[in-house]
Amino acid sequence: MPALQMNNITKTYPGVLALDNVSFDVAKGEVHALCGENGAGKSTLMKILAGAQSMDSGDIFINDELVHITTPQKAMDLGVNIIYQEFNLVPYLNAAENIFLGREPKASVPGFIDFGKMYNEAQSVIDQLGVDLNVRMPVNQLSIAQQQMVEIGKATSRKSMIIAMDEPSATLTDHELKALFELIRSLKDKGVSIIYISHRLEEIFEIADRVTVMRDGKYVGTKAIADTDREDLIKMMVGRELTEVIPKVAAEIKGPALEVKGLTRKGVIEDINFTLHHGEVLGLAGLVGAGRTEVARAIFGADTIDAGEILLDGKPIKVKSPRDAIRQGIGLVTEDRKALGLILGMVVRENISLANLDSLTKLGFVNRREEKHISQQYIEDLMIKTPSSEQQVQNLSGGNQQKVVLAKWLFTQSKVLIFDEPTRGIDVGAKTEIYNLMNRLAATGAAIIMISSELPEILGMSDRILVMHEGRLAGELSREEATQEGIMHLATGGK
Ligand SMILES: Nc1ncnc2c1ncn2[C@@H]1O[C@H](COP(=O)(O)OP(=O)(O)OP(=O)(O)O)[C@@H](O)[C@H]1O
Ligand SMILES: [Mg+2]
CATH number at residue 65: 3.40.50.300
Is residue 318 assigned to a domain? yes
Task: Tell whether ligand 1 has an atom less than 6 A from the beta carbon of residue 393.
Answer: no
The reply to whether 226 and 260 lie within a common domain is: no
Dist CA 305 CA 280 (whole Å)? 25
The reply to whether 264 and 232 lie within a common domain is: no
Is residue 260 assigned to a domain? yes
Q: Relative to the alpha carbon of 399, which ligand is closest?
A: 1
- pLDDT by position in tens, the chain (length 495): 899 999 999 999 988 999 999 999 999 999 999 999 999 999 999 999 999 999 999 999 999 999 999 999 999 999 999 988 777 788 888 999 989 888 888 888 888 888 899 999 999 888 887 778 899 999 888 877 788 888 888 888 888 899 999 988 877 777 778 888 988 998 899 899 999 999 889 999 999 999 999 999 999 999 999 999 998 998 999 887 777 778 899 999 999 999 999 999 999 999 999 999 999 999 999 987 789 999 999 999 999 999 999 999 999 999 999 889 988 999 998 866 666 678 888 999 999 998 888 888 888 888 999 999 999 999 998 889 999 999 999 999 888 988 898 898 888 888 999 999 888 888 888 888 889 889 989 999 999 999 998 888 999 999 999 999 999 999 999 999 999 999 989 998 887
CB-proximal residues (5 Å) to ion ligand 2: 43, 85, 397-398
Is residue 246 assigned to a domain? no
The reply to whether 193 and 260 lie within a common domain is: no
The reply to whether 446 and 358 lie within a common domain is: yes
The reply to whether 209 and 311 lie within a common domain is: no
Contact 472, 270 (CB under 8 A): yes
Domain boundary among 238, 271, 301: 238
Q: Which atom of ligand 1 is nearest to the CA of 391?
A: 4
Is residue 397 assigned to a domain? yes
The reply to whether 154 and 295 lie within a common domain is: no
The reply to whether 441 and 474 lie within a common domain is: yes
What is the domain range of residue 14?
A: 4-238
Is residue 481 assigned to a domain? yes
Is residue 297 assigned to a domain? yes
Task: Tell whether ligand 1 has an atom less than 6 A from the beta carbon of residue 400.
Answer: yes
The reply to whether 31 and 108 lie within a common domain is: yes
Element (H, E) at 184: helix 174-189
The reply to whether 338 and 211 lie within a common domain is: no
CB atoms within 10 A of CB 180: 24
Contact 475, 467 (CB under 8 A): yes
Contact 19, 34 (CB under 8 A): no
Task: Tell whether ligand 1 has an atom less than 6 A from the beta carbon of residue 43.
Answer: yes
Q: Relative to the alpha carbon of 47, which ligand is closest?
A: 1
The reply to whether 350 and 391 lie within a common domain is: yes
Is residue 249 assigned to a domain? no
Task: Tell whether ligand 1 has an atom less than 6 A from the beta carbon of residue 279.
Answer: no
Domain boundary among 184, 205, 238: 238
The reply to whether 16 and 75 lie within a common domain is: yes
Strand partners, 265: 269
Number of domains the chain contains:
2
Is residue 451 assigned to a domain? yes
Stated pTM of the model: 0.81
The reply to whether 110 and 195 lie within a common domain is: yes
Q: Which atom of ligand 1 is nearest to the CA of 45?
A: 18
